[in-house]
Structure 1
Amino acid sequence: MSLITTVRNTLVPIHKEGYPFIAGFFVVSLVLGLLWEPLMWLGFVLTAWCAYFFRDPVRLTPLDDDLVISPADGRVSSIALVSPPEELGLGSAPMLRITVFMNVFNCHVNRAPMRGTIHRIAYRKGKFVNAELDKASHENERNGLVIETERGAIGVVQIAGLVARRIVCWSSENDTLQAGERFGLIRFGSRLDVFLPDGAQPRVSLGQTAIAGETVLAEFGSSKGPVISRRG
Protein backbone atom coordinates (compact mmCIF):
# COMPACT_ATOMS: atom_id res chain seq x y z
CA MET A 1 0.00 0.00 0.00
CA SER A 2 1.43 3.39 -0.98
CA LEU A 3 2.06 6.18 1.52
CA ILE A 4 -0.59 8.36 -0.17
CA THR A 5 -3.18 5.57 0.15
CA THR A 6 -2.26 5.04 3.80
CA VAL A 7 -2.66 8.74 4.59
CA ARG A 8 -5.95 8.90 2.65
CA ASN A 9 -7.36 5.98 4.64
CA THR A 10 -6.13 7.29 8.00
CA LEU A 11 -6.44 11.10 8.01
CA VAL A 12 -10.11 11.29 7.10
CA PRO A 13 -13.24 13.00 8.46
CA ILE A 14 -14.88 11.58 11.59
CA HIS A 15 -18.53 10.59 11.45
CA LYS A 16 -20.73 12.59 13.82
CA GLU A 17 -21.89 9.36 15.53
CA GLY A 18 -18.40 9.10 16.98
CA TYR A 19 -18.18 12.54 18.60
CA PRO A 20 -19.79 11.56 21.95
CA PHE A 21 -17.55 8.51 22.27
CA ILE A 22 -14.37 10.41 21.42
CA ALA A 23 -15.26 13.14 23.91
CA GLY A 24 -16.05 10.51 26.55
CA PHE A 25 -12.73 8.72 26.04
CA PHE A 26 -10.90 12.05 26.28
CA VAL A 27 -12.62 13.13 29.52
CA VAL A 28 -12.05 9.73 31.15
CA SER A 29 -8.37 9.98 30.15
CA LEU A 30 -8.06 13.30 31.98
CA VAL A 31 -9.74 11.89 35.09
CA LEU A 32 -7.46 8.83 35.06
CA GLY A 33 -4.50 11.18 34.75
CA LEU A 34 -5.39 12.66 38.13
CA LEU A 35 -5.02 9.20 39.64
CA TRP A 36 -1.90 8.08 37.80
CA GLU A 37 -0.28 9.82 34.85
CA PRO A 38 0.50 6.66 32.79
CA LEU A 39 -3.24 5.90 32.75
CA MET A 40 -3.85 9.26 31.11
CA TRP A 41 -1.50 8.46 28.24
CA LEU A 42 -3.10 5.05 27.84
CA GLY A 43 -6.45 6.81 27.69
CA PHE A 44 -5.18 9.18 25.00
CA VAL A 45 -4.10 6.17 22.92
CA LEU A 46 -7.60 4.70 23.26
CA THR A 47 -9.10 8.09 22.37
CA ALA A 48 -7.04 8.15 19.19
CA TRP A 49 -8.21 4.61 18.39
CA CYS A 50 -11.82 5.67 18.93
CA ALA A 51 -11.39 8.56 16.48
CA TYR A 52 -9.84 6.13 14.00
CA PHE A 53 -12.74 3.71 14.45
CA PHE A 54 -15.32 6.36 13.54
CA ARG A 55 -13.47 7.58 10.45
CA ASP A 56 -15.66 8.21 7.40
CA PRO A 57 -13.49 8.30 4.26
CA VAL A 58 -14.59 9.40 0.81
CA ARG A 59 -15.01 6.48 -1.58
CA LEU A 60 -15.19 6.20 -5.39
CA THR A 61 -18.22 4.04 -6.23
CA PRO A 62 -18.67 2.40 -9.66
CA LEU A 63 -21.93 3.58 -11.28
CA ASP A 64 -23.36 0.44 -12.84
CA ASP A 65 -26.75 -1.06 -11.90
CA ASP A 66 -25.39 -4.55 -12.66
CA LEU A 67 -22.75 -4.31 -9.94
CA VAL A 68 -23.16 -5.11 -6.24
CA ILE A 69 -20.79 -2.95 -4.19
CA SER A 70 -19.51 -3.93 -0.76
CA PRO A 71 -21.57 -2.28 2.02
CA ALA A 72 -18.74 -2.58 4.52
CA ASP A 73 -14.99 -2.56 5.00
CA GLY A 74 -13.66 -5.92 6.09
CA ARG A 75 -12.97 -9.50 5.08
CA VAL A 76 -15.22 -11.60 2.87
CA SER A 77 -15.95 -14.45 5.29
CA SER A 78 -18.72 -16.33 3.50
CA ILE A 79 -20.08 -16.86 -0.02
CA ALA A 80 -22.95 -19.33 0.09
CA LEU A 81 -26.57 -20.09 -0.79
CA VAL A 82 -28.57 -19.40 2.38
CA SER A 83 -32.22 -18.70 3.19
CA PRO A 84 -32.63 -15.03 4.15
CA PRO A 85 -33.90 -13.99 7.61
CA GLU A 86 -37.64 -14.43 7.90
CA GLU A 87 -38.31 -10.80 8.81
CA LEU A 88 -37.05 -9.58 5.42
CA GLY A 89 -40.01 -11.17 3.66
CA LEU A 90 -37.83 -12.47 0.82
CA GLY A 91 -39.13 -16.03 1.07
CA SER A 92 -37.46 -19.20 2.28
CA ALA A 93 -35.66 -20.20 -0.93
CA PRO A 94 -31.87 -19.98 -0.65
CA MET A 95 -30.29 -16.81 -2.02
CA LEU A 96 -26.67 -15.95 -2.70
CA ARG A 97 -25.33 -14.52 0.55
CA ILE A 98 -22.03 -12.66 0.67
CA THR A 99 -20.78 -11.79 4.14
CA VAL A 100 -18.27 -9.09 5.04
CA PHE A 101 -16.84 -9.33 8.56
CA MET A 102 -15.66 -6.12 10.22
CA ASN A 103 -13.12 -6.18 13.03
CA VAL A 104 -12.58 -3.30 15.46
CA PHE A 105 -9.98 -1.69 13.18
CA ASN A 106 -12.19 -1.50 10.08
CA CYS A 107 -14.21 1.56 9.10
CA HIS A 108 -17.75 0.78 10.31
CA VAL A 109 -19.81 3.15 8.15
CA ASN A 110 -22.20 1.07 6.03
CA ARG A 111 -23.09 1.89 2.41
CA ALA A 112 -25.81 0.80 -0.01
CA PRO A 113 -24.62 -2.05 -2.27
CA MET A 114 -26.91 -1.05 -5.16
CA ARG A 115 -29.10 1.82 -6.31
CA GLY A 116 -32.71 1.39 -5.25
CA THR A 117 -35.58 2.22 -2.89
CA ILE A 118 -35.83 0.86 0.64
CA HIS A 119 -38.96 -1.31 0.69
CA ARG A 120 -38.62 -2.58 4.25
CA ILE A 121 -36.52 -2.07 7.38
CA ALA A 122 -36.79 -4.83 9.98
CA TYR A 123 -34.99 -4.75 13.35
CA ARG A 124 -34.71 -7.89 15.45
CA LYS A 125 -33.28 -8.32 18.94
CA GLY A 126 -30.90 -11.19 19.52
CA LYS A 127 -27.64 -12.45 20.97
CA PHE A 128 -24.11 -11.08 20.68
CA VAL A 129 -22.11 -14.16 19.71
CA ASN A 130 -19.00 -13.93 17.56
CA ALA A 131 -20.14 -12.40 14.25
CA GLU A 132 -17.76 -14.68 12.33
CA LEU A 133 -19.84 -17.71 13.29
CA ASP A 134 -22.43 -18.72 10.71
CA LYS A 135 -25.18 -18.93 13.34
CA ALA A 136 -24.78 -15.20 14.03
CA SER A 137 -26.78 -14.57 10.85
CA HIS A 138 -29.93 -15.86 12.60
CA GLU A 139 -29.16 -15.59 16.33
CA ASN A 140 -27.58 -12.15 16.74
CA GLU A 141 -29.20 -8.75 17.04
CA ARG A 142 -29.65 -7.40 13.54
CA ASN A 143 -31.24 -4.77 11.34
CA GLY A 144 -32.27 -5.71 7.81
CA LEU A 145 -33.03 -3.57 4.78
CA VAL A 146 -34.86 -4.78 1.69
CA ILE A 147 -33.89 -2.62 -1.29
CA GLU A 148 -35.84 -2.75 -4.55
CA THR A 149 -33.34 -2.48 -7.40
CA GLU A 150 -33.31 -2.83 -11.17
CA ARG A 151 -32.30 -6.45 -10.63
CA GLY A 152 -34.96 -7.26 -8.04
CA ALA A 153 -35.15 -7.11 -4.26
CA ILE A 154 -31.92 -7.53 -2.31
CA GLY A 155 -31.40 -7.86 1.41
CA VAL A 156 -28.74 -6.02 3.41
CA VAL A 157 -28.44 -7.09 7.05
CA GLN A 158 -26.42 -5.30 9.73
CA ILE A 159 -25.46 -7.87 12.36
CA ALA A 160 -24.09 -7.04 15.80
CA GLY A 161 -21.00 -8.91 16.92
CA LEU A 162 -19.33 -10.05 20.12
CA VAL A 163 -18.49 -6.52 21.29
CA ALA A 164 -21.00 -4.59 19.16
CA ARG A 165 -23.88 -3.21 21.17
CA ARG A 166 -25.44 -0.64 18.87
CA ILE A 167 -26.72 -0.83 15.33
CA VAL A 168 -27.41 2.55 13.74
CA CYS A 169 -29.54 3.04 10.62
CA TRP A 170 -30.46 6.61 9.70
CA SER A 171 -32.28 5.71 6.49
CA SER A 172 -36.05 5.13 6.40
CA GLU A 173 -38.50 3.07 4.41
CA ASN A 174 -39.23 4.55 0.95
CA ASP A 175 -35.89 6.36 0.90
CA THR A 176 -34.04 6.11 -2.41
CA LEU A 177 -30.36 5.22 -2.06
CA GLN A 178 -27.57 5.52 -4.57
CA ALA A 179 -24.95 2.80 -4.74
CA GLY A 180 -22.28 3.61 -2.17
CA GLU A 181 -24.51 6.00 -0.21
CA ARG A 182 -24.14 5.83 3.57
CA PHE A 183 -27.13 4.36 5.41
CA GLY A 184 -25.82 3.36 8.85
CA LEU A 185 -23.03 1.96 11.01
CA ILE A 186 -22.40 -0.57 13.76
CA ARG A 187 -20.40 -0.16 16.96
CA PHE A 188 -17.81 -1.99 17.53
CA GLY A 189 -17.03 -5.10 15.44
CA SER A 190 -19.72 -6.85 13.44
CA ARG A 191 -20.72 -8.05 9.95
CA LEU A 192 -22.89 -7.27 6.94
CA ASP A 193 -24.80 -9.93 5.02
CA VAL A 194 -25.94 -9.19 1.46
CA PHE A 195 -28.66 -11.46 0.01
CA LEU A 196 -28.92 -11.43 -3.78
CA PRO A 197 -31.53 -12.89 -6.17
CA ASP A 198 -30.88 -15.25 -9.08
CA GLY A 199 -28.49 -13.97 -11.71
CA ALA A 200 -25.85 -12.59 -9.34
CA GLN A 201 -22.34 -13.95 -9.87
CA PRO A 202 -19.74 -13.47 -7.09
CA ARG A 203 -16.79 -11.27 -8.00
CA VAL A 204 -14.82 -11.76 -4.77
CA SER A 205 -13.14 -14.70 -3.07
CA LEU A 206 -13.21 -15.93 0.51
CA GLY A 207 -10.70 -14.07 2.63
CA GLN A 208 -10.50 -11.10 0.26
CA THR A 209 -10.42 -7.64 1.78
CA ALA A 210 -13.41 -5.53 0.76
CA ILE A 211 -13.69 -1.74 0.78
CA ALA A 212 -17.14 -0.25 1.37
CA GLY A 213 -18.44 1.71 -1.58
CA GLU A 214 -15.67 0.50 -3.91
CA THR A 215 -15.16 -3.28 -4.01
CA VAL A 216 -17.45 -5.16 -6.41
CA LEU A 217 -18.91 -8.15 -4.53
CA ALA A 218 -21.05 -9.54 -7.35
CA GLU A 219 -22.33 -8.83 -10.84
CA PHE A 220 -25.61 -9.45 -12.64
CA GLY A 221 -25.89 -10.46 -16.28
CA SER A 222 -22.33 -11.69 -16.62
CA SER A 223 -21.35 -14.87 -18.43
CA LYS A 224 -18.11 -15.08 -16.48
CA GLY A 225 -17.75 -17.86 -13.96
CA PRO A 226 -16.77 -17.56 -10.29
CA VAL A 227 -13.61 -15.65 -9.47
CA ILE A 228 -10.45 -17.75 -9.07
CA SER A 229 -7.83 -16.22 -6.82
CA ARG A 230 -4.15 -16.80 -6.17
CA ARG A 231 -2.38 -16.04 -2.91
CA GLY A 232 0.92 -14.32 -3.60
Structure 2
Amino acid sequence: MKIHKEGRRILFFTLLALLAINLLLFRVNERHLLFNQIFAGISVIVFLLLLQFFRSPYRNLLTHEDLLIAPADGKVVVIEDVHEGEYFDDMRKQISIFMSPINVHITRNPISGIVRYFRYHPGNYLVAWHPKSSTKNERTTVVVESDAGPFVLFRQIAGAMARRIVWYVNEGDEVNQGEEFGFIKFGSRVDIFVPLDTELKVGLGEKVKGGETVIAQLKVAQPGLFS
Protein backbone atom coordinates (compact mmCIF):
# COMPACT_ATOMS: atom_id res chain seq x y z
CA MET A 1 0.00 0.00 0.00
CA LYS A 2 1.21 3.49 -0.90
CA ILE A 3 0.53 6.94 0.53
CA HIS A 4 -1.34 9.17 -1.91
CA LYS A 5 0.52 12.22 -3.19
CA GLU A 6 -2.20 14.54 -1.82
CA GLY A 7 -1.35 13.45 1.72
CA ARG A 8 2.45 13.43 1.71
CA ARG A 9 2.89 17.13 2.51
CA ILE A 10 0.18 17.10 5.20
CA LEU A 11 1.63 13.98 6.80
CA PHE A 12 5.18 15.36 6.76
CA PHE A 13 4.31 18.64 8.47
CA THR A 14 1.89 16.94 10.90
CA LEU A 15 4.65 14.55 11.94
CA LEU A 16 7.10 17.42 12.45
CA ALA A 17 4.57 19.37 14.52
CA LEU A 18 3.66 16.41 16.72
CA LEU A 19 7.29 15.51 17.31
CA ALA A 20 8.13 19.11 18.22
CA ILE A 21 5.22 19.42 20.66
CA ASN A 22 6.00 16.10 22.33
CA LEU A 23 9.72 16.88 22.69
CA LEU A 24 8.86 20.26 24.18
CA LEU A 25 6.43 18.71 26.67
CA PHE A 26 8.94 16.11 27.86
CA ARG A 27 11.53 18.87 28.23
CA VAL A 28 9.55 21.54 30.12
CA ASN A 29 6.89 19.39 31.79
CA GLU A 30 9.03 16.65 33.34
CA ARG A 31 7.01 16.46 36.56
CA HIS A 32 3.84 15.43 34.72
CA LEU A 33 5.13 12.28 33.06
CA LEU A 34 1.70 10.61 32.87
CA PHE A 35 0.21 13.58 31.01
CA ASN A 36 3.14 13.58 28.59
CA GLN A 37 2.71 9.87 27.91
CA ILE A 38 -1.04 10.25 27.31
CA PHE A 39 -0.43 13.14 24.92
CA ALA A 40 2.22 11.07 23.10
CA GLY A 41 -0.27 8.23 22.72
CA ILE A 42 -2.92 10.58 21.34
CA SER A 43 -0.36 11.99 18.90
CA VAL A 44 0.38 8.51 17.58
CA ILE A 45 -3.34 7.79 17.11
CA VAL A 46 -3.90 11.11 15.27
CA PHE A 47 -1.00 10.43 12.92
CA LEU A 48 -2.15 6.86 12.22
CA LEU A 49 -5.67 8.11 11.42
CA LEU A 50 -4.24 10.60 8.94
CA LEU A 51 -2.03 7.89 7.50
CA GLN A 52 -4.95 5.55 6.83
CA PHE A 53 -7.02 8.39 5.35
CA PHE A 54 -4.39 9.11 2.69
CA ARG A 55 -3.67 5.48 1.88
CA SER A 56 -3.65 4.40 -1.74
CA PRO A 57 -4.18 0.63 -1.77
CA TYR A 58 -3.56 -1.54 -4.81
CA ARG A 59 -6.70 -2.17 -6.86
CA ASN A 60 -7.33 -4.85 -9.47
CA LEU A 61 -8.99 -2.40 -11.86
CA LEU A 62 -11.90 -3.68 -13.93
CA THR A 63 -12.33 -2.19 -17.42
CA HIS A 64 -15.14 -2.69 -19.92
CA GLU A 65 -16.65 -0.06 -22.19
CA ASP A 66 -20.32 -0.70 -21.35
CA LEU A 67 -19.86 -1.24 -17.60
CA LEU A 68 -19.98 1.63 -15.14
CA ILE A 69 -17.45 1.10 -12.35
CA ALA A 70 -17.69 2.67 -8.89
CA PRO A 71 -15.76 5.99 -8.90
CA ALA A 72 -15.05 5.80 -5.16
CA ASP A 73 -15.12 3.63 -2.06
CA GLY A 74 -18.18 4.02 0.10
CA LYS A 75 -21.86 3.24 0.53
CA VAL A 76 -24.68 3.73 -1.99
CA VAL A 77 -27.02 6.23 -0.32
CA VAL A 78 -29.17 7.44 -3.24
CA ILE A 79 -30.72 5.70 -6.24
CA GLU A 80 -33.46 7.72 -7.90
CA ASP A 81 -34.66 9.33 -11.11
CA VAL A 82 -34.07 13.09 -10.97
CA HIS A 83 -33.97 16.12 -13.22
CA GLU A 84 -30.33 16.98 -13.93
CA GLY A 85 -30.25 20.70 -14.73
CA GLU A 86 -26.61 21.67 -15.11
CA TYR A 87 -25.74 19.86 -18.34
CA PHE A 88 -28.47 17.52 -19.63
CA ASP A 89 -31.59 19.47 -18.57
CA ASP A 90 -33.61 16.25 -18.56
CA MET A 91 -34.36 13.23 -16.40
CA ARG A 92 -31.46 10.99 -15.40
CA LYS A 93 -30.88 8.16 -12.99
CA GLN A 94 -28.75 9.29 -10.03
CA ILE A 95 -26.49 7.00 -8.00
CA SER A 96 -24.77 8.57 -4.99
CA ILE A 97 -21.87 7.08 -3.03
CA PHE A 98 -21.13 8.44 0.45
CA MET A 99 -17.47 8.32 1.52
CA SER A 100 -16.91 8.28 5.28
CA PRO A 101 -13.62 9.53 6.79
CA ILE A 102 -12.37 5.91 7.02
CA ASN A 103 -12.84 5.24 3.28
CA VAL A 104 -10.16 5.66 0.65
CA HIS A 105 -10.84 9.11 -0.82
CA ILE A 106 -9.37 8.69 -4.28
CA THR A 107 -11.94 9.29 -7.02
CA ARG A 108 -11.66 7.29 -10.23
CA ASN A 109 -13.07 7.53 -13.74
CA PRO A 110 -16.16 5.28 -13.85
CA ILE A 111 -15.84 4.89 -17.63
CA SER A 112 -13.37 5.50 -20.46
CA GLY A 113 -14.04 8.26 -22.97
CA ILE A 114 -13.63 11.97 -23.72
CA VAL A 115 -14.32 14.76 -21.19
CA ARG A 116 -16.92 16.95 -22.91
CA TYR A 117 -17.63 19.25 -19.96
CA PHE A 118 -15.91 20.25 -16.72
CA ARG A 119 -16.85 22.85 -14.13
CA TYR A 120 -15.72 23.68 -10.60
CA HIS A 121 -18.38 25.23 -8.34
CA PRO A 122 -17.51 26.88 -5.01
CA GLY A 123 -20.23 26.41 -2.43
CA ASN A 124 -21.33 25.41 1.06
CA TYR A 125 -20.31 22.50 3.26
CA LEU A 126 -23.57 20.78 4.15
CA VAL A 127 -23.27 17.21 5.39
CA ALA A 128 -22.63 15.01 2.35
CA TRP A 129 -25.89 13.03 2.68
CA HIS A 130 -28.03 16.20 2.68
CA PRO A 131 -30.35 16.22 -0.40
CA LYS A 132 -29.18 19.72 -1.41
CA SER A 133 -25.46 18.98 -1.14
CA SER A 134 -25.41 17.91 -4.81
CA THR A 135 -26.25 21.44 -5.93
CA LYS A 136 -25.32 23.66 -2.95
CA ASN A 137 -21.93 22.35 -1.77
CA GLU A 138 -18.49 22.91 -3.22
CA ARG A 139 -18.27 20.46 -6.12
CA THR A 140 -16.93 19.60 -9.54
CA THR A 141 -18.99 18.37 -12.48
CA VAL A 142 -17.47 16.13 -15.15
CA VAL A 143 -19.30 14.85 -18.25
CA VAL A 144 -17.68 12.06 -20.24
CA GLU A 145 -18.78 10.76 -23.62
CA SER A 146 -18.20 7.09 -22.98
CA ASP A 147 -16.64 4.66 -25.42
CA ALA A 148 -19.98 2.83 -25.33
CA GLY A 149 -21.81 5.95 -26.54
CA PRO A 150 -23.88 7.34 -23.63
CA PHE A 151 -22.82 10.52 -21.85
CA VAL A 152 -22.23 10.09 -18.11
CA LEU A 153 -22.05 12.92 -15.57
CA PHE A 154 -20.31 12.57 -12.22
CA ARG A 155 -19.66 15.00 -9.39
CA GLN A 156 -17.18 15.24 -6.54
CA ILE A 157 -19.05 16.85 -3.65
CA ALA A 158 -17.46 18.27 -0.51
CA GLY A 159 -19.01 17.38 2.83
CA ALA A 160 -19.11 19.03 6.24
CA MET A 161 -15.48 18.03 6.90
CA ALA A 162 -14.13 18.19 3.35
CA ARG A 163 -12.51 21.55 2.62
CA ARG A 164 -10.62 20.81 -0.55
CA ILE A 165 -11.49 19.02 -3.78
CA VAL A 166 -8.65 18.09 -6.12
CA TRP A 167 -9.14 17.14 -9.77
CA TYR A 168 -6.84 16.01 -12.57
CA VAL A 169 -9.08 16.33 -15.65
CA ASN A 170 -10.06 19.09 -18.06
CA GLU A 171 -12.36 19.41 -21.06
CA GLY A 172 -11.05 17.55 -24.06
CA ASP A 173 -9.01 15.05 -22.05
CA GLU A 174 -9.20 11.37 -22.88
CA VAL A 175 -9.74 9.40 -19.66
CA ASN A 176 -9.37 5.73 -18.88
CA GLN A 177 -11.72 3.73 -16.69
CA GLY A 178 -10.37 3.16 -13.19
CA GLU A 179 -7.64 5.81 -13.36
CA GLU A 180 -7.66 8.60 -10.78
CA PHE A 181 -9.50 11.79 -11.71
CA GLY A 182 -9.25 13.43 -8.30
CA PHE A 183 -9.22 13.33 -4.51
CA ILE A 184 -11.54 14.74 -1.83
CA LYS A 185 -10.09 15.46 1.60
CA PHE A 186 -11.92 14.41 4.78
CA GLY A 187 -15.41 13.09 4.09
CA SER A 188 -17.47 13.55 0.95
CA ARG A 189 -19.71 12.09 -1.72
CA VAL A 190 -19.74 11.26 -5.43
CA ASP A 191 -22.89 11.48 -7.59
CA ILE A 192 -23.24 9.73 -10.96
CA PHE A 193 -25.98 10.54 -13.50
CA VAL A 194 -26.72 8.04 -16.26
CA PRO A 195 -29.50 7.50 -18.84
CA LEU A 196 -32.79 6.21 -17.43
CA ASP A 197 -32.52 2.91 -19.29
CA THR A 198 -29.23 2.06 -17.57
CA GLU A 199 -29.32 -1.31 -15.80
CA LEU A 200 -28.16 -0.95 -12.20
CA LYS A 201 -26.01 -3.63 -10.56
CA VAL A 202 -26.08 -2.24 -6.98
CA GLY A 203 -28.75 -1.46 -4.42
CA LEU A 204 -29.28 1.08 -1.65
CA GLY A 205 -26.99 0.55 1.30
CA GLU A 206 -24.51 -1.56 -0.67
CA LYS A 207 -20.80 -0.96 -0.08
CA VAL A 208 -18.66 -0.47 -3.18
CA LYS A 209 -14.97 -0.25 -4.03
CA GLY A 210 -13.63 2.36 -6.42
CA GLY A 211 -12.26 0.86 -9.62
CA GLU A 212 -13.55 -2.63 -8.83
CA THR A 213 -17.31 -2.73 -8.16
CA VAL A 214 -19.64 -2.75 -11.18
CA ILE A 215 -22.50 -0.36 -10.41
CA ALA A 216 -24.35 -0.36 -13.75
CA GLN A 217 -24.41 -1.60 -17.32
CA LEU A 218 -24.84 1.06 -19.97
CA LYS A 219 -27.04 0.57 -23.00
CA VAL A 220 -24.68 0.76 -25.96
CA ALA A 221 -25.68 3.64 -28.25
CA GLN A 222 -26.39 2.89 -31.88
CA PRO A 223 -24.27 4.76 -34.47
CA GLY A 224 -25.57 8.26 -34.98
CA LEU A 225 -27.66 8.25 -31.79
CA PHE A 226 -26.86 10.07 -28.54
CA SER A 227 -28.14 9.50 -25.00
TM-score bracket relative to the smaller structure: 0.7 to 0.9
Q: CA deviation at 1:28?
A: 2.1
Residues in 2 aligned to 1:30 and 1:37: alpha-carbon distance in whole angstroms: 13
Q: CA deviation at 1:85?
A: 4.8
Report the CA distance shift for 1:152/1:177 in structure 2 as closer, same or farther (over 3 A). same
CA contact (8 A) 1:29 1:39 kept: no
Deviations 1:132-189 (A, max 9, x none): 1111111111011111112321111000001000000012221111111111010010
Q: Is the 8 A contact 2:152 2:192 kept in 1?
A: yes
Give the aligned partner of residue 196 of structure 2.
198
Q: What corresponds to 1:98 in structure 2?
A: 95
Alpha-carbon distance between aligned partners in 2 of 1:97 and 1:210, rounded to the nearest angstrom: 16
Aligned partner of 2:4 in structure 1 is 15
How far does residue 37 in structure 1 lie from its aligned partner after superposition?
A: 4.1
* Matching residue within 109, 114, 128 for 1:112: 109
Residue of structure 2 equivalent to 1:155: 153
Q: 1:48 to 1:184 in 2, by over 3 A?
A: same
1:25 matched residue in structure 2: 14
After superposition, residues 78-97 of structure 1 pair within 5 angstroms as 78-86=78-86, 89-91=87-89, 93-97=90-94
Deviations 1:188-224, CA, capped at 9 Å, x for gaps: 10000001023311110111001000111111249xx
Is the 2:91–2:196 contact (alpha carbons within 8 Å) kept by the matching residues of 1? no
**Larger Rg over CA atoms:** 2
In structure 1, what is the equivalent of residue 32 of structure 2?
A: none
- Contact in 2 for aligned 1:13/1:57 (Cα 8 Å): yes
Distance 1:173 1:46 in 2: 38
CA deviation digits over 1:71-120, x for unaligned, max 9? 0000000001122252xx222x1201100000000000000001111111
- Count residues with an aligned counterpart: 208
| Aligned ranges 1:107-186 → 2 under 5 Å | 107-149=104-146, 150-186=148-184
Instruction: Tell me the TM-score normalized by structure 2.
Output: 0.87
Amino acid at match of 1:112: N
CA contact 2:150–2:219 (8 Å) conserved in 1: no
Return the TM-score normalized by structure 1. 0.85
Matched ranges for 1:57-72 at <5 A: 57-72=57-72
Q: Whole-Å Cα distance in 2 between the matches of residues 221 and 152 of structure 1?
A: 7
Provide the rounded CA distance (Å) in 2 between the counterparts of 1:39 and 1:197: 53
Which segment is superposed worse, 31-40 or 202-211? 31-40
| Paired residues of 2:112 and 2:176 also in contact (CA < 8 A) | yes
Inter-partner Cα distance in structure 1 for 2:180 and 2:92: 24
Give the conservation status (yes or no) of the 8 Å contact 1:32–1:39.
no
**In the alignment, is the contact (CA less than 8 A) between 1:25 and 1:46 conserved in 2?**
no
